[in-house]
Amino acid sequence: MSNRARQGRGLTLSLGALLLSLPLSQLFAAAPPWADSARAGHAMLTRLCDDFGGRLTGSVANEGALTQLAAELRALGLQPERVPFSMPGWERGADHVELLAPLTRPLRVAALGYTSPHAPFEAEVVDIGAGGVADYPTVVTGKIALLDPACALTAREFSQLAFQRGARGILFIDREGGGQLLARTGSFVGEALALPVYSLAQEEGRWLQRLLKRGQTVRVRVATKSQCRVVKTANLVVRLPGRSPERLIVGAHFDSWDLGQGALDNGIGTAQLFALAHALRGRELAHPIELIWFNGEEQGLWGSRHAAAQLGAEPVIAMINLDMVGVPIAVNALGDTTLVPALQAWAQKRSPAALPRGVENINWFGSDHTPYQLAGVRALTFNGPIPRESVRFYHDFADTIDKLPEQMIVDSTAVIGDLVLTLATSTTLSATRRTPPETEKLFTDFGLERRMQAVGYWPFKAKP
Ligand SMILES: [Zn+2]
């Protein structure tokens, strides 16, 4: 027997002793069935999309789909909990914009969220370019402003400016062509828009711009029954137990826009979260995992604001946000450096081809990680590009399940699941919160104050 063989047997014996000292579930813990779980997530999402439609928060479709998701989680032996909250919501009624001159035909429009109902009226259309102060022509009073997609202002800013200039409404040309019609919110704080704003198909918008440039008179008749109303809704939470009280939160917004099926935005995250629940149930974990499907994201991060406000001083390792994450090419520490070493260690274990950009550390604003960040919690997400032929349809009528290949959920869940499991089984990570000055710096370092101010998140106020 060679020395090497003897060492080998010694290793086998001590490994055996180690294995016997572990709980039975850990002893037989094979790698989670990521691919099967991901396929179950995609199948579940297909039912949500086709049986209920777009999941605008507060709608019958959203409520039906949330009930269905809870039932499917219970069928896995899990105990999903509804956490109700209410928010200033909005519902779409009939939106009509008809061209009256130089010819008559209906235009392809959808009111922006928080447009209020109004009686039909007729008005002349005037081109306001990108909607900045310098872009306005002299006379706007009583007219409908035609706004270019190059506009850099938030809906609140451009609608208030047009209102102050005396405009009666806005036609906002879509950034995507091909007859697409984009839904989006006009407010992140739940306030009614100062005047009605309609998304307009790009080709029709360009046509009106050309007519106006040639000095033609363009007239339209507009009307909508869309309206603001307070809605009752809920987040859905699944808790997977762990040995320590320090939890890992993984969240994805469940709500979507109403014109399509919300398959991409954010059916992707909804399916990935379901796949995590499917794969990780019954597993021995060092840290409990809280899986949370948020509502109200599209209209102002209402669900994650509610959840983050309820955290109090609970110990949290990190919050991982899954909002339209395709197959990851990097994990993003969102500006907080303290988790970077753990993420780098994880990334190095993977083959470079499996995560080509490794660890990024760039904060951005506009999804459910922000309320957690503001509460001092470390947040993460992934850089997971979605192919152009799919992603172009988000918020559109064509955001439907046929744009989401099952393989994208399979490939992305393998990466996301591996990181979640690595963090949840780590014995070296512990919960922490940033101090208020550190949190403030997280946003100022990336110049996010202006956009956050426009939606009521700035100046930064530390939570008591
Ligand atoms: Zn989204």
Render pLDDT for 422-460 as a digit per residue (tens, 0 to 9): 999 999 999 999 999 999 999 999 999 988 987 788 888
Same domain, 204 and 259: no
Q: How far is the CA of 410 from the centre of ligand 1 (A)?
A: 20
CATH of residue 114's domain is 3.50.30.30
Within this chain, do residues 132 and 184 fall inside the same structural domain, yes or no? yes
CA angle 290, 373, 417 (to 5 degrees): 40
Kindly state the percentage of the chain with pLDDT values over 90.
Answer: 88
What is the 269 CA–ligand 1 centroid distance (Å)? 9
- Look up the domain containing 108 and give its range: 93-225
Decide: helix, strand or coil at residue 108: coil
Q: How confident is the model at residue 7 (pLDDT cuts 50, 70, 90)?
A: very low
The answer to whether position 103 is within a domain reads: yes
Q: How far, in Å, is the centroid of ligand 1 from the Cα of 256?
A: 7
Query: Distance between CA 292 and CA 314 in Å, rounded?
Result: 16
Spatial CB neighbours of 61, under 8 Å, sequence gap ≥ 6: 52, 53, 54, 55, 258
Q: Give me ligand 1 centre to Cα 206, in Å.
A: 27
- Average pLDDT across the chain, whole number: 93
Residue 462 above 80 pLDDT? no
Task: Spell out the residues 6+ positions from residue 91 whose beta carbon is closer than 8 angstroms to its own.
Answer: 56, 58, 59, 226, 227, 229, 231
Residue 28: the pLDDT is 56
Identify the band that residue 24 occupies on the pLDDT scale cut at 50, 70 and 90: low
Segment 398-408 shows an average pLDDT of 98
Q: What is the pTM of this model?
A: 0.92
Strand residues in 346-407 grouped as ranges (E)? 359-360, 379-383
Q: How far is the CA of 16 from the centre of ligand 1 (A)?
A: 48
Distance CA 273, CA 446 (A): 29
> Does one domain contain both 75 and 150?
no
pLDDT at 104 over 80: yes
The answer to whether residue 12 is domain-embedded is no
Average the pLDDT over 119-131 and give the result.
97
Q: How far does the centroid of ligand 1 lie from the alpha carbon of residue 366, in Å?
A: 9
Q: Are residues 268 and 179 in the same domain?
A: no
CA of 115 to the centre of ligand 1 (A): 20
What pLDDT does 130 receive? Answer: 97
Q: Is 312 helix (H, G, I), strand (E, B) or coil?
A: coil
Position 407 scores a pLDDT of 98
Q: Is residue 311 part of a domain?
A: yes
Distance 393 CA to ligand 1 centre (A): 12
Which CATH number is 35's domain given? 3.40.630.10
pLDDT of residue 15: 46
In this structure, is residue 183 part of a structural domain?
Answer: yes
- Phi (first) and psi of residue 262, to 5 degrees: 60, 35
Of 12-26, 82-96, 392-406, least confident by mean pLDDT is 12-26
Q: How far, rounded to the nearest angstrom, does the alpha carbon of residue 51 sit from its chain's CA centroid?
A: 22
Q: Please state, for a pLDDT cut of 70, what percent of the chain lies above it.
A: 94
Output the CA angle 138-141-147, nearest 5 degrees.
Answer: 75
Distance of CA 234 to the CA centre of its chain: 16
Among residues 432, 305, 318, 326, the alpha carbon closest in space to that of 370 is found at 305
State residue 242's pLDDT score: 97
Other beta carbons within 10 angstroms of residue 392's beta carbon come to 18
- pLDDT tens by residue, 167-199: 999 999 999 999 999 999 999 999 999 999 999
User: Do 249 and 388 reside in the same domain of the chain?
Assistant: yes
Residue 76's Cβ-count burial label (10 Å; 0-12, 13-18, 19+) is middle
Q: Scanning the structure block, which residue is given the tokens 């197959």?
A: 327
Q: For 253-274, what is each residue's pLDDT tens digit?
A: 999 999 999 999 999 999 999 9
